[in-house]
Amino acid sequence: MKAYVRAWKNCWEGRACAPEFKGRLRSRMSVDVPQGRDLAVTRLSRHVGQVRIPKVGVVRLRWSGPIPGVGRESGRVTGARLVKDVLGWHIVFRTEVEVGTPAQHPGPAVGIDRGVNVALALSDGNDQHHGPWLRPKEAERLLRLERKAARQRRARQPFERTSNRLHRTYDQIAGLRARAKRRRHDWQHQATTKLASTYGTVVVERLRITNMTRSAKGTTKQPGRNVRPKAGLNRAMLDEAHARTVELLEYKLTERGGQLLPVPAAYTSQTCSTCGHRDPASRAGIRFACTSCGWTGHADTNAAVNILNAAGLGRVRTWSPAPEGREASTTRRAT
């Protein structure tokens, strides 16, 4: 009831839409413990702890990290939430910690281009890569289970209840995808922590992921082109979870005295970072070859340098129109 009242207050004050019914199959099962005074969180060993849950009793848990207010950690536990997903039950603690104003980060500035070929391309060349989220055998098993689920769906009659075998296949698919999601989240935490500790100012593109991953199917009167390649590109972009990377990077930079600067993303991949000439023909896949000055290099690194320049922290360029669709450029050093 407390969450329900808060949802209506947020709606009336213009911060959110009106609350709706939660779908049983489209949401995760969760139980909220609003107060932390009776949880009695105790650490038993390096990887094992226990917590007292109301109406359940003492439950053991796997200790995955330090919790403020437990042991020698400063702070206090204000509540918890039990969440169930395909990998099992998890407990998330709400904590309260007093944090002072951090000193300004002394690190340098860097521009980051988020992509598919290179996950995080940095303007100084210190790119952040990752391997596939699923191992080869796991990817083969996922493909086999998806084909199996498609055969089981074809065998169903219209309006027939989903069989237990199909439900079991769905659970196995969800387990593999949840494992990949956990590995991706772990890599994002490690990469963003490294970046926030090294650099004082990080410049990123202001991307609209929803518009970028829109389907190219089109309509009946105006069908789209290259629908299947665009669908594969959309899946690859969504699999990177670029928006979450920026969210993690933003709060980690704030904790360390750094800052995150978003800049417009227009033409950063078509502009030469050396002479400032803009031409779509300069980029061919991951290779960038300027049609004006002849500079060649990696396209993602070139875009990362342009992103840094767009924030006024590198070389700032101003473009003036030139005849025959070309653009002349002038370069000046930012103070």
Percent of the chain past pLDDT 70, that is, above it, reads 93
C-alpha to C-alpha distance for 45 and 103, rounded to whole angstroms: 35
**Residue 314: band (very low, low, confident or very high) from pLDDT cuts 50, 70, 90:** low
Q: Each residue of 20-37: pLDDT tens digit? A: 887 766 677 888 888 888
Hey, how many other C-beta atoms are within 10 angstroms of the C-beta on 202? 29
Top-confidence residue, 87 or 166: 166
Q: Using DSSP, state whether 17 is helix, strand or coil.
A: coil
Phi and psi dihedrals of 160, rounded to 5? -85, 145
Per-residue pLDDT, averaged over 187-200, amounts to 94
Top-confidence residue, 334 or 80: 80
DSSP 269: T
Catalytic residue among 113, 140, 171, 186: 113
pLDDT for 246 equals: 93
C-alpha to C-alpha distance for 218 and 225, rounded to whole angstroms: 8
Q: Each residue of 113-124: pLDDT tens digit? A: 998 889 999 999
Domain ranges of the chain: 2-96, 109-261, 280-333
pLDDT for 77 equals: 92
Top-confidence residue, 312 or 139: 139
Percent of the chain past pLDDT 90, that is, above it, reads 48
C-alpha to C-alpha distance for 87 and 44, rounded to whole angstroms: 23
Q: Each residue of 101-160: pLDDT tens digit? A: 889 999 999 999 998 889 999 999 899 999 999 999 999 999 999 999 999 999 888 888
pLDDT for 25 equals: 67
Catalytic residue among 85, 205, 255, 324: 205
**Residue 321: band (very low, low, confident or very high) from pLDDT cuts 50, 70, 90:** very low
Average model confidence (pLDDT) across the chain: 86
pLDDT for 328 equals: 38
pLDDT for 335 equals: 36
Q: Using DSSP, state whether 3 is helix, strand or coil.
A: helix
pLDDT for 91 equals: 92
Q: Please report how many Cα atoms fall inside a 13 Å half-sphere around the Cα of residue 137, on the Cβ side.
A: 0
Per-residue pLDDT, averaged over 192-204, amounts to 94
Q: Each residue of 244-300: pLDDT tens digit? A: 999 999 999 999 999 999 998 888 888 998 888 888 888 888 899 998 888 898 999
**Most confidently predicted of 223-232, 271-280, 310-319:** 271-280
Top-confidence residue, 211 or 327: 211
Active site residue 113: yes
Active site residue 300: yes
Written as six digits, the tokens of 68 are 């403020």
DSSP 85: E
pLDDT for 113 equals: 92
Active site residue 186: no
C-alpha to C-alpha distance for 245 and 114, rounded to whole angstroms: 9
Top-confidence residue, 326 or 187: 187
Q: Taking the complete model, does pTM exceed 0.85, yes or no? A: no
